[in-house]
Chain A
Amino acid sequence: MIALLALVAGAVVGLFLQPTVPLALQPYLPIAIVAALDAVFGALRAYLDGVFDDKVFVISFVSNVLIAALIVYLGDQLGVGGQLSTGVVVVLGIRIFTNVAEIRRHVFHA
């Protein structure tokens, strides 16, 4: 519950302060968000499975975001940024879909 409140509070702060993203970080933002969403859905599923642990969540969240940004950075340096980003999005997308499907099964028992 408080976790949801924190999420909403972050969104509200963003809406009110309208911070600008530094130009250097802009390429990494979308992919980092996808990685973060993957961590969040994974955590939600683990919570419903009854194995949630907040320390694991924080670590997986941070490492997911960092690794995603690192992959994009590496890809940009090698000239294959677009393709690597696509690969990351595909993998994370599959994971998100799987987790959401599992969450759905938990919530609706169907």
Chain B
Amino acid sequence: MSSAPEDAKTTVAPHRDLVRWLAAAAVDPDYARVARSASPPAHVRRTGARAGMWVVLLVLGLVVVTSGAEVRSTASQTARERDALVAQINQRKAVIAASTARLETLRAEVSGLQGTASLDTQRNADLLAGLAQARTLTGAAAVTGPGVRVVVDNAPPSRSGNAGKVLDSDLQLLVNGLWQAGAEAITINGNRLTALSAVRTAGSAITVNYQSLSSPYVVQAIGNPATLPARFVDTAAGQAWLDLQTNFGIRFDLRRADAMVLPAAPAPRLHVPNAQRRGELP
């Protein structure tokens, strides 16, 4: 479109203004060159090239439609795969829940059988009492009693950004402080803590007993409700949590609770212990 001298100038020095040169050379310069040169009578040599043009355009239409279909089918396939995965996850979760329920009934049956089998002697009764006590303390049995209920949550996002997130170490600090203050049984969002429980970050979530939790985190601790809060605040963990509350705006809400029911921890894997007691029973 541009006049000849301007064309020449932009072609000579493309590096001076790349975009302008690109715009000026947008049409293949060969069109102009062929048009300028003395061509043979157009209709003589055109038939082949014209057929080529039609073929080329046919191919273009085909490829554009195919490519569009391809992109759409890829997207729907991704969605389908995702749905299938979600369905699988739900299915496996249901299987786990069913297995857990069955495990519970079997365990109840086992303790029932233990009770009937060995109630005959005083020594066995003592042992059973000790076992019951141990099961209560280790988290193998569900327990009920008074205590405190602590609700902690991430700070509102506007306030301190990422710093206001409750970390796994914060929750560890909290439950350790509660143990120290005299708690006898603790759950986090309904997951009972045992000597083998880990409170740790996996991916972007905090997990307890390998269960992913989401905030707010509800920590229930059974213990003396009269002394537990005050003794907790006295511990280093309590001080650290007061700091978190005032400095980062993390929610920390501790209340006494009258009767809480804490479930048992998931059954540990069955194993033969290698550690054996040294000496006689006391």
Contacts and interface: CB of A to CB of B under 8 A. Distances in A.
B40 to A, nearest CB: 12
B117 interface: no
Given A10-B60, A11-B64, A21-B67, A58 B53 contact: yes
A20 interface: yes
Interface string A10-21: 111111001111
B61 interface: yes
A98 B19 CA distance: 11
B51 to A, nearest CB: 9
Interface string B1-38: 10000000000000000010011011110111011000
Contacts of B31: 42-43, 46, 49, 51-53, 56
Contact of A58 (B23, B39, B56, B69): B56
A73 interface: no
A97 B64 CA distance: 19
Contacts of B63: 10, 14, 29, 32-33, 36
Contact of B61 (A9, A20, A43): A9
Interface in A16-60: 18-21, 26, 29-30, 32-33, 36, 39-40, 42-43, 45-46, 49-60
Contacts of B28: 39, 42, 46, 56, 60
B70 interface: yes
Given A9-B58, A42-B27, A51 B32 contact: yes
B53 A99 contact: no
A58 B22 contact: no
B50 A54 contact: yes
A99 B32 contact: no
Nearest to B1: A102
A51 B49 CA distance: 15
Contacts of B32: 51
B195 interface: no
A62 B22 contact: no
B65 to A, nearest CB: 3
A8 B53 CA distance: 14
Contact of A99 (B27, B57, B66): B27
Given A18-B69, A51-B34, A58-B53, A6 B61 contact: yes
A64 B64 CA distance: 16
A26 B35 CA distance: 37
Contacts of A99: 26-27
A7 B61 CA distance: 5
B61 A40 contact: no
A80 interface: no
Nearest to A105: B1
A19 B19 contact: no
Contact of B34 (A10, A26, A36, A56): A56
B1 A11 contact: no
5 contacts: A10-B63, A33-B64, A36-B63, A39-B28, A53-B35
Given A29-B63, A46-B31, A98-B26, 16 more contacts: A6-B53, A6-B61, A7-B58, A7-B60, A10-B57, A10-B58, A11-B64, A14-B61, A14-B66, A20-B66, A33-B60, A42-B27, A46-B27, A56-B31, A95-B26, A99-B27
Interface of A: 2-3, 6-15, 18-21, 26, 29-30, 32-33, 36, 39-40, 42-43, 45-46, 49-62, 91, 94-96, 98-99, 102
Give 8 closest A-B pairs by Cβ, nearest first.
Answer: A10-B61, A14-B65, A51-B35, A55-B49, A98-B26, A10-B58, A11-B61, A46-B31
